[in-house]
Amino acid sequence: MSKIQGKPTQNWNDFVKEYLLTEYESTVSGACMSTKQGIPVLNYGELSHLKQADMKYFLSLFNPKPKQEDELNEIYLPNTRFKFRVICQTYKSIYGTACDRNGTGLLINNLPQGVLVCIYHHPVSREVAVNRVEAFCDRLCA
């Protein structure tokens, strides 16, 4: 652990492992986090294939749009067969469920540092996945 302005800080990889991948290991089966420029800084599991162009797509979902285009209906996971129906959209997050109703969900969180995309599958419920990923984002932004 190092110190920034007298406060102990965790190594980035240790932080992610402890609070996203280990603590919630049974929740998310894939995660990718990028900077605001779309450069991936974390690739894990099923989302380890996502590249800068893919992450720019997710970042673009939070760009201001004309009023008539405020709400999304579907999100595509690049380079996969997954298409998600948007069930919740706010200025900081978008949640979707797989259109084929197989119990797969996608969580996209707009962070001050970039964007976090996570995927989960049945038997994990949407509520559990959302609560756990949001808790990670809260820790990250604290």
pLDDT above 90: residue 52: yes
Look over the chain and give the mean of its residue pLDDT values, rounded to a whole number.
83
Q: Are 95 and 88 in contact (CB under 8 A)?
A: yes
pLDDT tier at 68 (50, 70, 90 boundaries)? very low
Q: Which amino acid is at 131?
A: N
The single residue listed with the structure tokens 């599991």 is: 45
What's the pTM?
Answer: 0.84
* Contact partners, residue 89, CB within 8 Å, separation at least 6: 71, 72, 95
CATH number of 2-141: 3.30.450.30
Domain segments of the chain as ranges:
2-141
* Residue 103: per-residue pLDDT: 87
